[in-house]
């Protein structure tokens, strides 16, 4: 059995921090999990968790532009994903830029709504709708998976609908809907962050 040593701390605001030291190479992996997924949606408003994953890369109050830019400039790998149970965002980057990654994450956790406008929302909604077409509707047997999910988890089970949502629900989504989704689920007490690699745990806790 593999045993990976780690430390876990919980801040007063409820944020869980998990650190793991590995100084093999001068890199660090940052991964923040929000404990919300498509299971937290309701029929008629599906796809919001995944849609908000996309919106999170559109900029925040103090970095009001493309989230990827400053991280890609330093050679970082950046992405996110959504499942039924969680939404996560991760960055792999040189360890001397850890503070940058943590600052960007903190700004969008605390101040994303100040930067979110209708144009950005509409853009990402169209991106998600195209992703659904590409991954399911226009792929041979792509819709079979969605149908199987419906049969395996009949209503009112929250796994009944796909993470990608339905085209109808995405079309009907309003910017205020996703803002309320953010207010409900995107806060420190509903999140966990792991920082692993070439780090000092005490210094990392101070940065967070």
Where is 34: in which H helix or E strand? strand 27-34
Please state, as a whole number, how many other Cβ atoms lie within 10 Å of the Cβ of residue 70.
16
User: 42 forms bridges with which residues in the sheet?
Assistant: 45
State the pairing for strand pair 27-34/87-94: antiparallel
CB 50 within 8 A of CB 60: no
**Catalytic option among 7, 41, 53, 114:** 53
User: 195 forms bridges with which residues in the sheet?
Assistant: 19, 30
**Is residue 53 flagged as an active site residue?**
yes
Tokens encoding 2: 């593999």
Query: Hey, which residues are catalytic here?
Result: 53
């Amino acid at each position: 059995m593999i045993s990976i040593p780690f430390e876990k701390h919980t801040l007063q605001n409820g944020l869980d921090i998990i650190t793991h030291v590995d100084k093999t190479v001068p890199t660090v992996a940052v991964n923040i999990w929000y404990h919300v997924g498509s299971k937290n949606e309701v029929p008629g408003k599906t796809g919001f968790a995944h849609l908000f994953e996309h919106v999170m890369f559109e900029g925040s109050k103090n970095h009001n532009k493309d989230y990827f830019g400053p991280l890609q400039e330093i050679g970082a790998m950046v992405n996110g994903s959504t499942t039924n149970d969680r939404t996560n965002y991760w960055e792999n980057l040189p360890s001397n830029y850890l503070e940058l990654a943590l600052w960007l994450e903190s700004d969008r956790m605390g101040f994303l709504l100040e930067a979110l406008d209708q144009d950005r929302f509409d853009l990402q909604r169209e991106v998600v709708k195209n992703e659904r077409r590409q991954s399911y509707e226009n792929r041979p047997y792509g819709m079979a998976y969605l149908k199987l999910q419906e049969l395996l988890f009949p209503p009112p089970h929250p796994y009944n609908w796909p993470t990608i949502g339905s085209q109808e629900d995405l079309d009907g989504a309003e910017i205020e809907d996703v803002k309320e989704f953010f207010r409900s689920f995107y806060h420190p007490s509903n999140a966990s962050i792991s920082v692993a690699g070439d780090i000092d745990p005490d210094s990392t806790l101070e940065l967070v």
